[in-house]
Amino acid sequence: MRRIREVIVVEGRYDKNTLLQVVDATVLETGGFSVFNDKEKLELFRRLAESRGLILLTDSDGAGFLIRNYLKGALPKDRVRQAYIPDVAGKEKRKRTAGKEGKLGVEGMRPEILLEALTRAGATFEDEPENAAQAEQITKADLYALGLTGGSGSAEKRAALLKKLGLPAHLTTNGLLDVLNALYNKQDAQEILNLISEKCE
């Protein structure tokens, strides 16, 4: 599985699930049109763009381009790359009927097509990490060990961490992991988590 440095932004969870079977990358969702009114998510995308670079990978229908064009105008142009999937007629297996325009979305694309789209967009493939520490990621076990999940007061600690880091308050635990691993290396993230954990004791 190819490892990609940039954070990839897709429309929804089925797109994300499909992509994570093809590449090892941080993949975030716009949540469809809800991103238009989500200032916190937009700010998060900006931070990730500055830190790691973003690749936009939306469906090839009108709705996908509406979301893409909105983000293109809202994010730093020199830090965002555009990945396009081809127009392919059909419907995804999970759907009873095809979409309004009758085109397959990201979730319906074959792995080789997705890889080609990301390659053409200029994705940075990091199949050989520079060092083990850089490749090491913070895990759910780390969050649990610090009392940020699965225990008494963990929700409050997570809320304090999100506030301290200026992240969206509604970010899920999985989303928090994605963002921490995208913005920080494991050592930095561990120090931040320890600091927040101590303040919440």
81 and 148 together in one domain: no
Q: For residue range 7-63, what is the model confidence (pLDDT) as tens digits?
A: 999 999 999 999 999 999 999 999 999 999 999 999 999 999 999 999 999 999 999
State whether 44 and 141 are in the same domain.
no
The DSSP code for 107 is G
Domain boundary, last residue among 120, 151, 170: 120
- 141 and 97 belong to one structural domain: no
Distances (CA, A) of 68 to 9, 55, 71, 80, 99: 10, 10, 5, 11, 18
Q: Are residues 31 and 82 in the same domain?
A: yes
Which of residues 67, 87, 120 is at a domain's end?
120
SS3 of residue 82 by DSSP: strand
**In 50-148, which ranges are E strands?**
54-57, 80-83
pLDDT in tens, 85-129: 999 999 888 888 888 899 999 999 999 999 999 999 999 998 755
pTM of the model as a whole: 0.80
Residue 39 placed within a domain: yes
Together in a domain, 112 and 173? no
Cβ neighbours of residue 22 under 8 Å, at least 6 residues apart?
Answer: 1, 2, 111, 114, 115
Q: How many CA atoms lie within 13 A of 55 on its CB side?
A: 25
Q: Confirm whether 116 is domain-assigned.
A: yes
Burial of 121 (0-12, 13-18, 19+ CB in 10 A): middle
| 125 occurs within a structural domain | no
